[in-house]
Structure 1
Amino acid sequence: MYKPVFMKREVLVFRQFKRKGYSLFACLGREVIISVLSVATLSSAKADSISDEVWRVDSARVQREVWLDDVGVTGSRAPLAQSQAARMVTVLSREDIQAAPVQSVNDLLKLAVGIDVRQRGAIGAQTDISVRGGTQEQVAILLNGINICDPQTAHNVMELPVELSEIVRIEVLEGPASRAYGTSSLLGAINIVTRAQPRTDEKRQLVDAQQGRALVASADVGLEGGSFGYGKASFVANVTSSSASVFSHQLSGSYKRSDGFSRSQAGGLNTDFSGSKAFYQGLFDSDAVSCSWYAGIADKGWGSSTFYASPKWQADDQYEHVTKVMASVQGENKRGALHLRPALYWNLHKDRYEGYRDKPEKMKFNYNLCNVYGASLNSYLDWTLGRTAFGGEMRREELLSGNLGEPLAHNHHIGGTDRDYTRGIGRTNTSLHLEHNILLKRLVVSAGVVASKSTQSDMSWRFYPGIDVSYKLGNGVKIFAGYNSSMRLPSFTEMYYKLQGYAADPHLKPEEMKALDLGVKYDSEMLESKVSFYHHQGSHLIDWIMDISKGKQAEWKSVNFTRINSYGFEASVLLNAAKAFPSQRFLRSFKVAYNFMEQDKKEYENIVSQYALEYLKHKFTAQCDLNLSKKLDMNIYYRWQNRVGGYTTFDGSYESYKPYGIVDARLSWAQSSHCSFYAEANNLLNTSYVDYGNVPQPGISAVVGMRFKM
């Protein structure tokens, strides 16, 4: 998994120096090449926002190149290096992504022990993501630091326009993350990072480019096929020019489809899907400024089986079609004590839901069109007493719908149909943030506050403070402690959805969360381990509940719970076997992780919860990376989880969620640097399980694929 890149030359390039403890890292937002770098130096130079293993180098080898990329840590507004990080961040690196037996970001996140991934369909057809016992609405999903959450509903937020092969890393921040990502991150944030940059071997060519070669171009083509009629074709093309500055463009696209793993009672397709996506991103990087931008589209339709069925409404041939468009531009100056990082973005979410597939006469199709516009400014200043960050964001959220929101004064036509949008709602959310970081040799203190206001219900300004502290004990040991608070506005679906079996409340209050965290981390060449404890206190938490005593007449209702306390701990150990046992090459690494959680929620007789009161009490994951031969690798993953709560079956009886274990594996064969083949198997034990009641998941499945580089 971790392959050093060899060079025939020694190169040492630094282009920025300051009289600060973080001077080295201040210059790493741009090209930095370090050769013949010792392991001791490298271990102290890595950043939390990059997987530690990615840059670990065998000390027995020399003359290699290590290309260090963006080192900003997502635990704070101000970018800090690992030596200053005051909060732990979980990172899935590019190597983790390439080795995993997954076909989507949704599936990939299952491997993180602190994330609860609840699927309704296979291969990411529809997935809800949450952390620490929360709901899918309580986690902010970001693309390159831009919030792409849909205020209509979080069910479809993971329909991303990017390919797995484009992702540099995925950063997971557990617990309230308002100081880093705004108040929508009630219980955490997941930042998906891409960048229009060349691959590792092409970076060597860029060094040559500065000696007369000015252009580097490449293209990757991938093909996949597997169980249930699954097929996918994709490509990624990159062009980079380099002289005094770097100008890079990257374009990707894909199409995938499947017949699905089940059929409706009438014999029709009900878990099939098909869709395409395209994504363009650019980068300009010079000594003075850096600027990046992207634009993408994802279009997908899928059979929704019994996704939203209830005892009262047992439809098993639902269907949904979603189109998402995303665009953003961001910049930053590199000179001077004051750094300005402005951003503009636009997200469009278009959805068509069919309660009965292709039968509008039986139940009218529900159409929604959501536009989100935003502008933000994140600035930070270095001065004698540390690093201070300040800025703000204004975000406009507008929804046109067939059944969500208030009646419109003037209807809007729905393109391609004979119907109009008759309802809608809009709100403007404004936030301001201020944060200061005190950076000492062993002690780091990061404290700040977010002030938020929304036009929804004439909400006045509310303030959410937070503080994180870290202290180095020496010998690779570091302790963390923090207190953070945050808020989340209800989604438009939670406020207005009133169709078969559902009754929403338009007067829902915003959710609020307070959290305490304490953890310790140990890091060495051979062993990495961490353990963290947390306590969350939630107020006015939103959930859908049902009174099962009403039988088939029961409805799901959106409500504010008064208060829920959550307690838990998370622990993980990673053994770098290649370092611990250098005489063998078979076992590369082995990792185990466990998360435990308990909620002291009040029990209500005959009341079942759809989200907030259903959480993972136990989750255990294990990962083993093997090198079977010079060109053949195997990666084996196991996860076991036990969920609290239950659901009402279609016959009206109550069923508790049962624990289950899943084994996934991947074989990869690198024929050359230009060609690779792989085979993946999911649910090898053919386990029967559900993540949501009355929505069964597929058994064993397989995918084979190949990638060609040109």
Structure 2
Amino acid sequence: MTTLIAKANQDTTLVDLGEVIIKENRIEIPFNKISRNVSIISRKDIETTPARSLQEVLSFTPGVDVRQRGVSGVQGDVGIRGGGFEQTLMLINGIKMTDPQTGHHIMNIPVPLQAIQRVEVMKGPASRIYGQNAYAGAINIVTMLPETRGLNIQAYGGDFGMKGISAVSSLPVDLPFGKYKQTLSFSHDASSGHWYNSDYKVSNVFYEGGLELNDRNELRTMIGYTDRSFGANGFYTNSFPDQWESIQTFLASLSHTYNYENLYIQSRAYWRRNTDEFRLRRNEPAFFTNNHVTDVLALEFNGRYESKLGTSGFGVEGRQEQIESSNLGNRERSFLGVFAEHRFEFWDDFDFRAGVYSNYYNEYGWKHFPGAELGYQISNSSRVYTNYGASYRIPSFNDLYYEDPSNFSNPDLVPEEAQSFEVGYKFNRRGLRFELVYFNRYTENLIDWSRAPSDIVPNPNRWTPRNISEVTFQGIETGLQYALNLGSENFKLKEVSLSYNYIDANLNQAAGVESRTSLTALRHQAIAGVQSEFFTNLELNVKARYIERMSLDPYFLMDIRIDYNRLKTFGVFAEASNVTNAEYVEAGFVQMPDRWFRAGISINLQQ
């Protein structure tokens, strides 16, 4: 019998990103041969970032706009390249977390932060790869099934009555017909809140198992559940400070993979259920309460075939979405999607990839979304690329039907469509990574929630979703990351990073008109980071951000994390957020907290 023993971890994330394979649902491509802007958040990045949630980790990613309502990501909206939260697709190991009720729920991720191996952020249209909801970008959470037994435990506490605990365990088993790898993890976070009616409780449970039947066939399953309840003061309106919400999300999937010689085929089925109770007055449910139950059932079939002519990808998906709601009514809709693409290399240093995603929805019939990518490898360390893609988003049930004392519905909304273009340059050599990108996204029928101005505070006018006829987003993204490893045993400068992103949009609005999403997108974003090490076991990570959004006041934030013995059996850490004591609002009407602290311990046991 094998037992767990105290043993130092290895920082296995210190690898060349060129060795990382981006595993899309069909074609797999090495990171350094991707002809688009993709950011990789490694396990080490997750461990050393001053953050207690995935939302907070993503907020340090160039080009990603995370708008949190309160601390620790109890609810946060994620946008990419000026896109709104409805235009970003979240995935877990390629499984879509689409929520037809509202994009506010796509970050209800049932995976504890400590169980995430890495995060792949694909910027720009990804409809050709993942389907209709990958309008402005996609974020794929990747977990791992270890070959050996292990246990990681973390516990922390901090300001605002904050407390949390998480555990991630791996327990592979040798069976007569194959090796069964499995992980079980859970987390619980709670706080009394940083201002009136902002308390929260968030619990996650996640199980993943994989069985290698033989060298060609593998089965995998995932089961996840998250339960989050929170005071929602200022989340959606400032007219009702006693808002409250409780959300439960369940995810289950089963997949089979066949991989032999030149042929790869994966089939999978999944079910996602989201239950949402929302009250305008927390202790008076009879005043106004919404109850929603949303189900998404899907089947997918994906494959690829490698030949002398290159790699061909193909796939088909079917998805059923339905909701039972006290406000939106009982509704359902079905989708069919077909994928086809091909990638080949020519003239030694060029590669070309093109494909199309065709989607059928009975309200709008067939829609086709082509895309193409062209790359040229100047040298082993330099690459230039360009790409084009069409994308599409069908309005959510919330967009179409939701009404309350602060919102009107608009069942006449039509889908958003966009044409996107990108050109970029990458450099990766000896620990130095640099990327410069220009992008342009032309959008028709952009959906935005707006309301008329008023001299009365709070504004009594209702929010209404509308289609804006034509909008062009364009911008520049640039980033530099350098692994220095300069210094002595007593002090070593490990890494520095710097990025700047600029977005321009030709959005026109009447004077005083308020916008919830599009007209408050990022304009300027600058992120800087410094990682250093003292006496081998003490690590310091400093992160700073300057954020300026359209029509909103800019702000500057600095966060700090200190780790002692991070890779050893027993470690401690401390974090400070908003060290500069900035006053700022990220989403809704939630005034974010001043300077705040938390600290905790970690225990690592491995076979």
Aligned to 1:417: none
Are residue 544 (structure 1) and residue 449 (structure 2) matched? yes
Aligned residues: 593
Are residue 621 (structure 1) and residue 546 (structure 2) matched? no
* Alpha-carbon distance change, 672 to 94 in structure 1, aligned in 2, over 3 angstroms: closer
Does the CA contact (< 8 Å) of 2:421 and 2:440 recur in 1? Answer: yes
Separation of aligned partners in 2, 1:671 and 1:153: 38
* Alpha-carbon distance change, 659 to 172 in structure 1, aligned in 2, over 3 angstroms: same
Three-state SS of the structure 2 residue aligned to 1:494 is: helix
Does the CA contact (< 8 Å) of 1:85 and 1:444 recur in 2? Answer: no
Separation of aligned partners in 1, 2:380 and 2:206: 44
Residue 287 of structure 1, aligned match among 210, 215, 230: 215
Once the 2 structures are TM-superposed, how far is the Cα of residue 245 of structure 1 from its aligned partner?
A: 4.9
Once the 2 structures are TM-superposed, how far is the Cα of residue 588 of structure 1 from its aligned partner?
A: 0.3
One-letter amino acid matched to 1:172: V
One-letter amino acid matched to 1:616: L
One-letter amino acid matched to 1:222: Q
Does the CA contact (< 8 Å) of 2:442 and 2:471 recur in 1? Answer: yes
Residue 261 of structure 1, aligned match among 194, 199, 202: 194
One-letter amino acid matched to 2:115: E
Does the CA contact (< 8 Å) of 2:129 and 2:339 recur in 1? Answer: no
Aligned to 1:639: 545
Q: Describe the superposition over 1:56-107 as per-residue Cα deviations: whole angstroms up to 9, x where unpaired.
A: 49xxxxxxxxxx9972344x84112245433231110001001101000010
Three-state SS of the structure 2 residue aligned to 1:495 is: helix
Unaligned runs of 5+ in 2: 1-7
Aligned to 1:708: 603
Aligned to 1:303: 231
Aligned to 2:204: 277
Aligned to 2:182: 249
Counterparts in 2 of 1:429-578, with a 5 A limit?
Answer: 429-440=335-346, 441-455=348-362, 458-549=363-454, 552-578=459-485
* Alpha-carbon distance change, 630 to 83 in structure 1, aligned in 2, over 3 angstroms: closer
Are residue 154 (structure 1) and residue 103 (structure 2) matched? yes
Residue 316 of structure 2, aligned match among 392, 395, 417: 392
Once the 2 structures are TM-superposed, how far is the Cα of residue 218 of structure 1 from its aligned partner?
A: 2.3
Q: Describe the superposition over 1:514-562 as per-residue Cα deviations: whole angstroms up to 9, x where unpaired.
A: 1000000011013110100001100111110111158544211111111
Three-state SS of the structure 2 residue aligned to 1:72 is: strand
Counterparts in 2 of 1:658-673, with a 5 A limit?
Answer: 658-670=553-565, 673=568
Q: Describe the superposition over 1:354-390 as per-residue Cα deviations: whole angstroms up to 9, x where unpaired.
A: 10002023x2311000000001111111112111001
Aligned to 1:47: none
Once the 2 structures are TM-superposed, how far is the Cα of residue 5 of structure 1 from its aligned partner?
A: 5.5
Counterparts in 2 of 1:201-350, with a 5 A limit?
Answer: 216-241=148-173, 245-263=178-196, 270-285=197-212, 286-310=214-238, 314-350=239-275
Are residue 81 (structure 1) and residue 14 (structure 2) matched? no
Does the CA contact (< 8 Å) of 1:87 and 1:469 recur in 2? Answer: no
* Alpha-carbon distance change, 367 to 377 in structure 1, aligned in 2, over 3 angstroms: same
Separation of aligned partners in 2, 1:83 and 1:520: 11
Are residue 71 (structure 1) and residue 39 (structure 2) matched? no
Separation of aligned partners in 1, 2:563 and 2:454: 52
CA RMSD of aligned residues (A): 2.1
* Alpha-carbon distance change, 247 to 489 in structure 1, aligned in 2, over 3 angstroms: same
Aligned to 1:369: 293
Does the CA contact (< 8 Å) of 2:490 and 2:534 recur in 1? Answer: no
Q: Describe the superposition over 1:221-253 as per-residue Cα deviations: whole angstroms up to 9, x where unpaired.
A: 221111100111221111113589542111111
One-letter amino acid matched to 1:304: A
* Alpha-carbon distance change, 583 to 476 in structure 1, aligned in 2, over 3 angstroms: farther
Does the CA contact (< 8 Å) of 1:343 and 1:377 recur in 2? Answer: yes
Worse-matched range after superposition: 470-479 or 509-518: 470-479
Separation of aligned partners in 1, 2:256 and 2:500: 39
One-letter amino acid matched to 1:233: I
Residue 518 of structure 2, aligned match among 607, 612, 617: 612
Q: Describe the superposition over 1:273-294 as per-residue Cα deviations: whole angstroms up to 9, x where unpaired.
A: 0132211101223421233211
* Alpha-carbon distance change, 338 to 532 in structure 1, aligned in 2, over 3 angstroms: same
Aligned to 1:144: 93
Output the TM-score relative to the length of structure 1: 0.80
Does the CA contact (< 8 Å) of 2:36 and 2:424 recur in 1? Answer: no
Once the 2 structures are TM-superposed, how far is the Cα of residue 342 of structure 1 from its aligned partner?
A: 1.0
Greater helix proportion: 1
Separation of aligned partners in 1, 2:223 and 2:522: 36
Separation of aligned partners in 2, 1:615 and 1:608: 13
Separation of aligned partners in 1, 2:489 and 2:481: 19
Three-state SS of the structure 2 residue aligned to 1:513 is: strand
Once the 2 structures are TM-superposed, how far is the Cα of residue 439 of structure 1 from its aligned partner?
A: 2.1
Larger Rg: 1
Does the CA contact (< 8 Å) of 2:252 and 2:271 recur in 1? Answer: yes
Unaligned runs of 5+ in 1: 7-50, 58-67, 199-215, 264-269, 405-422, 646-656
Aligned to 1:381: 305
One-letter amino acid matched to 2:351: V
One-letter amino acid matched to 1:54: L
